[in-house]
Amino acid sequence: HSPNNLTLFGDAFFSNASIVLTQELNSCSSSSLASFNGVGGALYADPIRFVDSETNDTASFSSVFSFSITPSPFCSPGDGISFLIAPDQDSFSSFKGHIGLPRPFDVKDPFFAVEYDTSFDPLLGDVNGNHIGVDLNSVVSVSSVDLTPTGVNLKSGKTIKTWIEYRNPIKMIRIWVGYSAVRPTNPVLVARLDLSQILKEYMYVGFSSSNGQGSSLHVLDKWRFKIYHGSFTIPLDIVEEGDCFVCSPDDLHSATATATHKSEQEKFVLGVGCLVTLVISIIAIVLVVIFKKIKERKIVVINNNTFGANPRIQTRSSVNTNFAAERIQANRVPTRLSLAEIKSATMCFAPNRIVGEGASATVYKGSLPHGPQVAVKRFQRVSGIGGWRNPFTTEFATMVGCLKHKNLIQLQGWCCEGSELVLVYEYMPNGSLDKILHNKTRSAIVLTWTQRQKIAIGVASALTYLHQDYTVSTKV
Ligand SMILES: Nc1ncnc2c1ncn2[C@@H]1O[C@H](COP(=O)(O)OP(=O)(O)OP(=O)(O)O)[C@@H](O)[C@H]1O
């Protein structure tokens, strides 16, 4: 942060290597509230080009920053901090309260904000005083999430690091939040969002904050903002980013190149790998059985002891939270799985586990330890630069947006390791409807007319949801 490339407004000031956005009050009387602006912000001094006027393409971007929010011991907490993209430098400097963002009836210019909200206002649809929200032209968030289950307390006074990533080709925003310097594997918020409707050619980027009816010290420590135009995509940086949520064209390309050069060697390694995985799986199953037996015995002992002194019951989740199925249940968004977990679930993609084959993938029946059965969809390797339009990326981008409809299958996880691209879904034990309708597998199931009518209405309802409510523009 240098005073030269940042414009501060309201109560904000530079302090060592940080920016203090709002002042902390020593009392909450109306006179002390009036003596401060209550709003503070910092914007990068130069406008950033978000839209290429020649091609009309909107950029992708990533923003990483760390901040801390310390409520005053004398008042209720302030409102929080927002990351902001605004059309001009004066857009928001006059708005008091609402994290320095305009109230719904004050909106004049389009804006985008991610709010780290510490005040609970039910009239604005807030879930509580510890949430993040994505705002498009309004402080009523289009998507928000309670941070409490993640263990992050925005008002703890501790340094919090957050990663915001918008990928325009797939119209998706993802946000991570944590206390660690390393990005957590799973984002806390994933939403489908089209910012091309909001972003003008040049916009200002920065932060706003407000105290509202309370007071907190809102401090911004470090900030990195990157923008990606045209064919440049947000690169996959394993060391820095810590995962490979969506593979970039380069990753797929290099994976393919490596695959062709090393195919013989790989076959051998895969063979040995599968053998090792098989042995490990058997050992794991034996251990799980022993573990279960011990646990059953423990619970019996505990139950017998219920009225004794200080009975302590250990739940399974407190014993081990590392199983893939438990991570899937704990995360409300699709979860990243390792290739070892996928291989163990499918017995190394065993041919007798194949339940179907599509145009671009083979589907295996799999089972994750402690979880229900899953359908593991293994995509064929992409030759050349498949880019954003390869079948894996297209399907992933469509399904990851947390589609919620009772007739739509849920994406539970994904794996993108080496040259393997895999999506994991709920398992449908009766397989494909067309096989039953056309009796392709000589299935014993014969659908009655009432069942067929119910299925047709269910399919139509899901299609309506996809096309009208969710505007998915892909093959169904
Ligand atoms: N979740 C699932 N549970 C059980 N079986 C499944 C599941 N998903 C797919 N299958 C089986 O795998 C087959 C192939 O599925 P896949 O999604 O790859 O292709 P598709 O949708 O039939 O065709 P396309 O590749 O053109 O999209 C299906 O026909 C079905 O029999």
Q: Tell me the per-residue pLDDT of 211-223, one tens digit each, with 9 for 90 and over.
A: 888 888 999 998 9
Task: State both tokens at 424.
Answer: 């994991």
Poorest-pLDDT segment among 75-89, 99-113, 163-177, 317-331? 317-331
Nearest to 474 by CA among 249, 192, 252, 231: 192
Angstrom distances, CA of residue 31 to CA of 22, 35, 80? 17, 6, 22
CA–centroid distance, residue 448 to ligand 1 (Å): 23
For residue 466, pLDDT over 90 is answered with no
Q: How far is the CA of 375 from the centre of ligand 1 (A)?
A: 9
361 lines ligand 1 (CB under 6 A): yes
**pLDDT tens for residues 325-378?**
766 666 556 788 888 889 989 988 999 999 999 888 999 999 987 788 999 999
- When mean pLDDT is compared across 16-25, 382-391, 418-427, 443-452, the lowest value belongs to 382-391
- Most confident listed range (99-103, 406-410, 436-440): 406-410
Q: Give me the pLDDT at residue 263, please.
A: 40
Mean pLDDT on 173-189: 86
| CA of 428, closest atom in ligand 1 | 3
- The predicted pLDDT at position 42 comes to 92
Cα dist from 27 to 21, 61, 399, whole Å = 18, 40, 50
Q: What is the mean pLDDT of residues 149-154?
A: 92
pTM as predicted: 0.54
Asked whether residue 205 carries a pLDDT value surpassing 60, the answer given is: yes
What's the confidence (pLDDT) of residue 131? 93
How confident is the model at residue 387, as a pLDDT?
45
Res 295 pLDDT > 80: no
Residue whose C-alpha is closest to residue 119's, from 88, 90, 81: 81
Q: What is the pLDDT of residue 243?
A: 37
Nearest protein CA to atom 15 of ligand 1, as residue: 358
Residue 230 confidence (pLDDT): 67
Instruction: Determine the average pLDDT of the residues in 94-111.
Output: 74
Is the beta carbon of 359 within 6 A of some atom in ligand 1? yes
Six-digit token string for 433: 């409807």
Four-CA torsion 288, 292, 295, 299, nearest 10 degrees: 160
Of the listed ranges 292-296, 348-352, 433-437, the one predicted with least confidence: 292-296
pLDDT value, residue 242: 33
Ligand 1 centroid to Cα of residue 334, in Å, is 19
Residue-wise pLDDT for 235-255, tens only, equals: 533 323 333 333 333 333 333
Q: How far is CA 84 from the centre of its chain?
A: 19
Lowest mean pLDDT among 100-104, 152-156, 184-188, 348-352: 100-104
Q: Is the CB of residue 423 below 6 angstroms from any atom belonging to ligand 1?
A: no
Q: What is the pLDDT of residue 303?
A: 30
pLDDT given at position 38 = 83
pLDDT at 62 over 80: yes
Mean pLDDT of the chain: 75
The stretch 415-424 carries a mean pLDDT of 85
Which atom of ligand 1 is found nearest the CA of 361? 18
Q: Does residue 290 have a pLDDT over 80?
A: no
Alpha-carbon separation of residue 276 from 146, 285, 343, 344 (angstroms): 41, 14, 11, 10
pLDDT at 440 over 50: yes
pLDDT in tens, 6-47: 999 888 999 888 999 988 777 776 666 666 668 889 999 999
Q: What is the pLDDT of residue 275?
A: 53
Low-confidence winner among 64-68, 366-370, 395-399 (lowest mean pLDDT): 395-399
302 contacts: CB under 8 Å, gap ≥ 6 = 311, 312, 313
| 257 pLDDT higher than 50 | no
Residue 391: pLDDT band (50, 70, 90) is confident
Ligand 1 center to 422 CA (angstroms): 13
The closest residue, in CA terms, to atom 18 on ligand 1 is 358
ipTM for the whole predicted complex goes beyond 0.90: yes
Res 413: pLDDT: 87
Pair type for strands 411-417 and 420-426: antiparallel
Q: Report whether residue 427 contacts ligand 1, using a CB cutoff of 6 Å.
A: yes
296 or 180: which carries more pLDDT confidence?
A: 180
